[in-house]
Amino acid sequence: MPIEQTLAKIEQEIAAKDYDKARDRLLGLISTYPDDLSLRRRLGDVYWMRQNPKQAGRFWFLVADKSPEMASACREFAQSCQDDPLKILLGLRFKGDVAAIEDDYARNTIQTLHEEAKAKHRNYVDFQARGAAKYKPPAQINRYIGIAALVGCLIILAMVLVLVVIGGFTLYEWFF
């Protein structure tokens, strides 16, 4: 079904106060068109009509021209995430391409959240990366992994040497 027909059905469902169906359709559209921020705004409106300001704030978070109600809902959403940039990013569930966002405010907000999350969290996963690069640990972590592996190998080597010496003495006692 074309997006225009789906949006028309959503408007009919909102007019009929069937917010659950409208919400489900909007969630489907957002998963299909993740870069269309107007869908997120509409979904925020539906959550506001359902009297769920925290969820409304989640979907209004990337809107530049916020009304006082929208700003309050966005603050409530951020507080529910303990104002942690990584939790906010996870809560936003933005699956689109940040570079493809035409709205400067939304693009800058997401990029700022990514930078703050990288600075705050040592094991930050870059959600915008594709493929195996998404799970590549930072260089600092790779260095620690290398040092830990070296220390582990040295400990195992020392234990083997100790057991060889003990075994040698035991064999010597048996034979002599």
15-32 confidence digits (pLDDT tens): 999 999 999 999 999 999
Assess whether 88 and 156 both reside in one domain.
no
Assess whether 156 and 98 both reside in one domain.
no
30-78 confidence digits (pLDDT tens): 999 988 899 999 999 999 999 999 999 999 999 999 999 999 999 999 9
Residue type, 108: N
Measured CA distances, 173 to 61, 83, 166, 169 (Å):
77, 68, 11, 6
Assess whether 162 and 100 both reside in one domain.
no
93-130 confidence digits (pLDDT tens): 888 888 888 889 999 999 999 889 888 887 666 666 66
Quote the tokens at residue 30: 């957002």
How many residues would you count in the chain? 176
Which pLDDT belongs to residue 103? 87
Q: How would residue 137 be classed by pLDDT, with cut points 50, 70 and 90?
A: low
Which pLDDT belongs to residue 127? 66
Which pLDDT belongs to residue 78? 94
Query: Which CATH number covers residue 111?
Result: 1.25.40
Assess whether 89 and 31 both reside in one domain.
yes
Which pLDDT belongs to residue 126? 67
Assess whether 128 and 141 both reside in one domain.
no
Spatial separation of the C-alpha atoms in residues 128 and 34, rounded to whole Å: 13
Assess whether 21 and 93 both reside in one domain.
yes
Sign of CA dihedral 8, 16, 66, 63: negative
Q: Model pTM?
A: 0.70
Mean pLDDT of 73-97: 91
Which pLDDT belongs to residue 143? 72
Which pLDDT belongs to residue 16? 94
Which pLDDT belongs to residue 100? 82
Between 123 and 5, the higher pLDDT residue: 5
Spatial separation of the C-alpha atoms in residues 63 and 39, rounded to whole Å: 11
| Concatenated DSSP letters of 73-139 | HHHHHHHHTTT-HHHHHHHHT--S-GGG---HHHHHHHHHHHHHHHHH-TT---TT--GGGGGPPPH
Assess whether 84 and 18 both reside in one domain.
yes
For residue 67, give the 3-state DSSP assignment.
coil
DSSP 8-class letter at 62: T
Which pLDDT belongs to residue 102? 85
Between 141 and 10, the higher pLDDT residue: 10
Between 142 and 143, the higher pLDDT residue: 143
Assess whether 46 and 117 both reside in one domain.
yes
Domains in the chain, number: 2
Assess whether 31 and 88 both reside in one domain.
yes
Residue 81, number of CB atoms within 10 A of its CB: 18
Assess whether 118 and 160 both reside in one domain.
no
The owner of tokens 């034979």 is: 175
Assess whether 128 and 142 both reside in one domain.
no
Assess whether 121 and 164 both reside in one domain.
no
The owner of tokens 């704030």 is: 57
Domain that holds residue 107: 3-133
